[in-house]
Structure 1
Amino acid sequence: MEESLKPFLLLSDAVIITDINHRILDVNKTYEDITGYSREQILGFRAGILKTRLTSESTYHEMHKALNQLLSWSGVFVNKKRNGELWHSSISITPFLINGDTYYVGVFRELEHLQEGIYIAEGRRSGIQAALLKVLAISCEIRDPAIEEHLTRVQQLTGQLIHAHNERLQLGLSQDYIQSIIHASIMHDIGKSGVPEGILYKPGPLTSYERIIIEMHPLIGVDILEKINAELDDDFFKEELNVAKNIILSHHEKWDGSGYPHQLKANDIPFEARIVSVVDVYDALTSRRPYKEIWDKQKAIGFLREHQGTFFDPAIIDTFVQIV
């Protein structure tokens, strides 16, 4: 092996050096300790000896694409130790062209041994958050057998609307914020679990007293959410729960200040609540409810247009009409 590469083996992180065909030329002591393979056992084997199917093919594709262009690459692998245990590692691989030969130096850091926290791949983290928030939402509204379909439609249409609105107005919203809105939208009506069924599913008009009880459900929902948040006490859901709180509390506020529970007006209403408000009303109008028949799409859009600038954010209505 090229002598000039040997100083890399002195690093405290795990180090592997391979040739252009990814055959192992040398490893350091940390690599031996983590993987359970001694240097003598592993020299000459291809680096893929540790490979598992838990690392996506797209990760390997991007790695090979970069290295073939003699570019450095960084990513996360899920590999297998000699004893069969899995280990998650952040790796940086750097190509070196020396005297006409190409070498790759890989520096690993075992994520399980970080001093604080736990590593979860971004896609998996997002999936876990979405699934758990959906379970929480359905659990809070289990009395209604059709609620899962409504929640799923609201979530899907929220995703379409937020992406379209962000693109149309060039808002520059971060993908994390967008995903938080989509995930949290499914929680919008969890407070209805505290409303008596006789009021919630009443086929006729509500009395003034019943209306007051219905209009308490955002406050009930926030109380439920804060109890969940206190039990979790973890950054894992922090962004989603903050956004969910805004949606739960304010998705019945109206642009002109005539909504509830706090009569917020215009841009004082959180953006995520204004988005979900439009979607929720549209889905309610185009679905069968105990107190109404299904409206067709054009009638529902007409209602949104009629209340554009009074009930709803005018710019969001413009975007919504485009996508439906």
Structure 2
Amino acid sequence: MEDSLRMFLALGDAVIITDEQHRIIAVNHSYERITGYAQHEIAGKKAGIVRTPFTPRLSYDQMKEAIQDGKAWSGVFTNRKKNGQLWHSSITITPFVKEESTYFVGVFRELERLERGFYLDEERIEGIQGSLLRVLAVSCEIRDPGIEEHLLRVQKLTERLVIRHNELAGLKLSERKQAQIAHSSILHDIGKSAVPEGILYKPGPLASYERKIVEMHTQIGVDILDKVNVELDDTLFEHEFATAKNIILHHHERWDGSGYPYGLSGSQIPLEARIVSVVDVFDALTSKRPYKEKWSTDGALQYLKDKSGSQFDPAIVDSFLSLYEDDSLVENELQHHQMTVTSN
């Protein structure tokens, strides 16, 4: 091993040096202390000796892609010590080329030894966020026993639509952003919890003042979310709540500017609100309610077409229609949805 690489072994963090085939050449004392493996026990073995299935595969894929391109990579690994205990570490792996040979220097910082906090991987964070938003949404609309099914259908269709629209429109939304939109869609109507039942489920047309009360649910919903956010005071939900507020406040805006609460038009309306607007109206039309009969699927799809460019973003309507026409899974889901509504 090159002498210029040995200096890394003097670092206080755990250090591992491997060759081009990822065989271990040297580790420092911190690595030995943390893992329980002495250098003579693991020298010549693959660096994956401490690997566990608890590190997301995406992390390994991103690491391999980076180092194959000759770039440094940083991330978080969940590894296993010699005694079987798990340890979480922030790691930076840097490739070095010396005399036509490539070496990799990995520097680990054990997260368990940080003075504060703990580590949650992305999958667990996403699960916690999704669960809390679902509980919040259902809790706010507990008066209607059928509302949970509606919320879950909206969430599932939003997930499919945002993926399809991202592909067709070439938006290049990250997977994280797509997940945030899907998770947050379940909160779109939490403000209706403050609307009197006599108005919310009125079988006939609403009076003008009753319509104004219903329209207030967008701002009430944001107020509810703000109160929850203040109580949590946690950055774990920062981006989810920002996305949810856009959906709650603006999912009744219309593409031509005739919606509420602010009369936004076109691209002024946040993307996530435009997406949920299409899904919410479709599910509302195809669901039986105390004040209305359900529409047929074809009738609801035709309504979306008729309102494309006035009520809805035309590109999003096109994406929704293509999702329905091309994806047999979605078609089966919609048929099942109709059967469920009919049975109720």
TM band (smaller chain): 0.7 to 0.9
Q: Would you say the 8 A contact 1:70–1:95 is kept in 2? A: no
**How many Å apart are 1:55 and its aligned residue?**
3.0
Give the alignment's TM-score, normalised by structure 1. 0.82
Task: Give RMSD over aligned pairs.
Answer: 3.4
- What is the CA–CA distance in structure 2 between the aligned matches of 1:70 and 1:169, rounded to whole Å? 29
Counterpart for residue 32 of structure 2 = 32
Counterpart for residue 91 of structure 2 = 91
Percent identity of equivalent pairs: 60
Aligned AA for 2:216?
Answer: M
Tell me the number of residue pairs that the alignment of Structure 1 and Structure 2 aligns.
323
**How many Å apart are 1:187 and its aligned residue?**
0.8
Q: Within 5 A, what are the aligned runs for 1:63-74? A: 74=73
Counterpart for residue 202 of structure 1 = 202
Give CA deviations for 1:256-307 in whole Å, capped at 9, x if unaligned: 3332222333333222211111110001001111111221111111112222
Aligned AA for 1:141?
Answer: E
- What is the CA–CA distance in structure 1 between the aligned matches of 2:142 and 2:86, rounded to whole Å? 38
Give the alignment's TM-score, normalised by structure 2. 0.78
* More displaced 10-residue stretch of structure 1: 106-115 or 96-105: 96-105
* More displaced 10-residue stretch of structure 1: 249-258 or 94-103: 94-103
Label 1:102 to 1:146 Cα distance change in 2 as closer, same or farther (>3 A). Answer: same
Counterpart for residue 10 of structure 1 = 10
Counterpart for residue 175 of structure 1 = 175
Aligned AA for 1:149?
Answer: E
Give CA deviations for 1:154-202 in whole Å, capped at 9, x if unaligned: 1122122222223223233343332221221111011111122232223
- What is the CA–CA distance in structure 1 between the aligned matches of 2:138 and 2:79, rounded to whole Å? 37
Aligned AA for 2:278?
Answer: V
Unaligned 5+ runs, structure 2: 325-344
Label 1:10 to 1:285 Cα distance change in 2 as closer, same or farther (>3 A). Answer: same
* More displaced 10-residue stretch of structure 1: 258-267 or 47-56: 47-56
Label 1:35 to 1:198 Cα distance change in 2 as closer, same or farther (>3 A). Answer: same
Q: Within 5 A, what are the aligned runs for 1:250-289? A: 250-289=250-289
Counterpart for residue 211 of structure 2 = 211
Q: Report SS of the residue matched to 2:236.
A: helix
Unaligned 5+ runs, structure 1: none
- What is the CA–CA distance in structure 1 between the aligned matches of 2:134 and 2:87, rounded to whole Å? 30
Q: Would you say the 8 A contact 1:91–1:109 is kept in 2? A: yes
Counterpart for residue 140 of structure 1 = 140
* More displaced 10-residue stretch of structure 1: 150-159 or 203-212: 203-212
Give CA deviations for 1:219-268 in whole Å, capped at 9, x if unaligned: 11011000011112222211111111111011112223332222333333
Aligned AA for 1:209?
Answer: Y
Q: Report SS of the residue matched to 2:293.
A: coil
Q: Report SS of the residue matched to 1:252.
A: coil
Counterpart for residue 230 of structure 1 = 230
Label 1:2 to 1:316 Cα distance change in 2 as closer, same or farther (>3 A). Answer: closer
